[in-house]
Amino acid sequence: RKTLEKVIHMATERTLILIKPDAVQRRLAGTLLSRFENKGLKIIGLKMLQVTKELSAEHYAEHVEKPFYPLLEEFITAGPVVAIVAEGPEAISVVRSMMGSTNGRESAPGTIRGDYGVSRQMNLVHGSDGPEAATREIKIYFKPEELIEYSTSLGGWVCADD
């Protein structure tokens, strides 16, 4: 029991996940949220919202000048998204590996993009790609008071490591 308590606090990270408009339209929001819950991540923030052009430009600042940005903006503002803050050990890379690579035609079966899509643009999910991005993106989508800190009795059973 001591061991479980010790490791549960190891390398805990928070990451921003978006269930993108294509996934919401395809009624996959619950299915995809379940995948993150089943993996053992803790949901500490959750909301549905409509991304505006301004929010899109802030979120995708690194892509605004790229040729595909107008299409990306049209896509991400085309319908509501579900925004999630997930917490867990190495949550950022865990979520990235669950998502699969950007292009659904190339992402591995077993990943979200590999299992549900064939598009490079309409690829169902967003996940922060590093600690700085996670901090920045969580602030864009959530006020501090919208992140709920709580413990679960299952914590030690999903986070324990050697």
Determine the interface stretch with ligand GDP among 9-17, 24-32, 86-94, 122-130 (rule: CB under 6 A).
122-130
Query: Which lies closer to ligand GDP via its Cβ, residue 61 or residue 71?
Result: 71
Binding map of Mg ion across residues 129-158, x = CB under 5 A, - = no contact: x-----------------------------
Residue 102 as a binder of ligand GDP (CB under 6 A): the answer is: yes
Q: Which does 113 bind (CB under 5 to 8 A by kind): ligand GDP, Mg ion, none?
A: none
Cα–Cα distances (Å) from 134 to 125, 138, 162, in that order, read: 15, 6, 26
Which residues, 6 or more positions from 65, have their beta carbon under 8 angstroms from its beta carbon?
none
Q: Residue from 25, 68, 106, 157 that binds ligand GDP (CB under 6 A)?
A: 68
Residue 114 is encoded by which pair of tokens? 């590999």
Residue whose entry in the numeric block shows the structure tokens 């079966």: 109
Residue 59, classified by CB atoms within 10 Å of its CB into exposed (0-12), middle (13-18) or buried (19+), is: buried
User: Exposure of 21 by Cβ count < 10 A (0-12 exposed, 13-18 middle, 19+ buried)?
Assistant: buried
As annotated, the active-site residues are 126
Per CB under 6 A, residues contacting ligand GDP are 63, 68, 71-72, 102, 120-121, 123, 126, 129
User: What residues are designated binding site for ATP?
Assistant: 20, 68, 96, 102, 113, 123
